[in-house]
Amino acid sequence: AQSVTQLDSQVPVFEEAPVELRCNYSSSVSVYLFWYVQYPNQGLQLLLKYLSGSTLVKGINGFEAEFNKSQTSFHLRKPSVHISDTAEYFCAVSGLNTGGFKTIFGAGTRLFVKA
Amino acid sequence: DTGVSQNPRHKITKRGQNVTFRCDPISEHNRLYWYRQTLGQGPEFLTYFQNEAQLEKSRLLSDRFSAERPKGSFSTLEIQRTEQGDSAMYLCASSLTGTADEKLFFGSGTQLSVL
């Protein structure tokens, strides 16, 4: 079975500073990796996903993530954050042995961007 | 594409009552998921459907919970004899075919409060 660990429950950062949200996963088989974002009072939406190929994946709103198989990590980064990036971010995994491809989510990291 | 719609947005009920939630997925989507999210946690998988067939139920889902998708379109989630521990946000998501690499489209959720 797969599992996902998000290492930080909250990350406060000043506007225009860089940010990294950490995610580690556990799996015995190949997986697909995702980052979803949840803005206040909205549903989750996909930021980016890693399926195969280049380990650096670019997503919406200037976010990118790097897949590191040896460290089983999929950290999310943005070089310069905006106030509007304040939201909850969820790392997720889906794979061949999750029993029908259901997606498993981490506990989330709340990004708080301060002016 | 009108998105995934969930009703009601909020439900307050007394312990012991039955409640039913509805999810309308994106019209051409074959796969439909139910997740539960509590404060400070990521979405927890409950069950999913491929068209009208319910393919998996989480062990989190006690026999007080039942879900249906009778014609492969909308789905309902019923909780019988609600308990205070059932208080959570219930999320519905859908995807086009249900393969592991697909992104999920989420509704805004139904917030259940059991008094």
- In this predicted structure, the answer to whether residue A74 has a pLDDT above a threshold of 80 is yes
Q: pLDDT-based confidence at A60, cuts 50/70/90? A: very high
Mean pLDDT of A103-114: 95
What is residue B98's predicted lDDT score, i.e. its pLDDT? Answer: 73
- In this predicted structure, the answer to whether residue B100 has a pLDDT above a threshold of 80 is no
Cα of B1 to nearest chain A Cα, Å: 15
What is residue A47's predicted lDDT score, i.e. its pLDDT? Answer: 96
Q: State the Cα–Cα distance between residues A24 and A74, nearest whole angstrom.
A: 6
What is residue B2's predicted lDDT score, i.e. its pLDDT? Answer: 75
Mean pLDDT of A21-41: 89
Q: Name the percent of chain A in helix, strand, coil, to the closest 5.
A: 5, 55, 40
B99 contacts A49? CB cut-off 8 A = no
What is residue A96's predicted lDDT score, i.e. its pLDDT? Answer: 62
Closest chain B residue by Cα to residue A52: B101
Q: State the Cα–Cα distance between residues B114 and B28, nearest whole angstrom.
A: 34
Mean pLDDT of B40-69: 91
Q: State the Cα–Cα distance between residues A50 and A67, nearest whole angstrom.
A: 7
Q: State the Cα–Cα distance between residues B77 and B57, nearest whole angstrom.
A: 12
Q: What are phi and psi of A106, to 5 degrees?
A: -75, 180
Q: State the Cα–Cα distance between residues A26 and A37, nearest whole angstrom.
A: 21
What is residue A97's predicted lDDT score, i.e. its pLDDT? Answer: 57
Mean pLDDT of A34-52: 91
What is residue B101's predicted lDDT score, i.e. its pLDDT? Answer: 78
In this predicted model, what pLDDT tens digit does every residue of B56-73 receive, in sequence order? 888 888 899 999 999 889
Q: Is B89 on the interface with A (CB under 8 A)?
A: no
Residue predicted with more confidence, B95 or B98: B95
Residue of A36, A102, A105 to mutate when probing chain B, most B C-beta within 10 A: A102
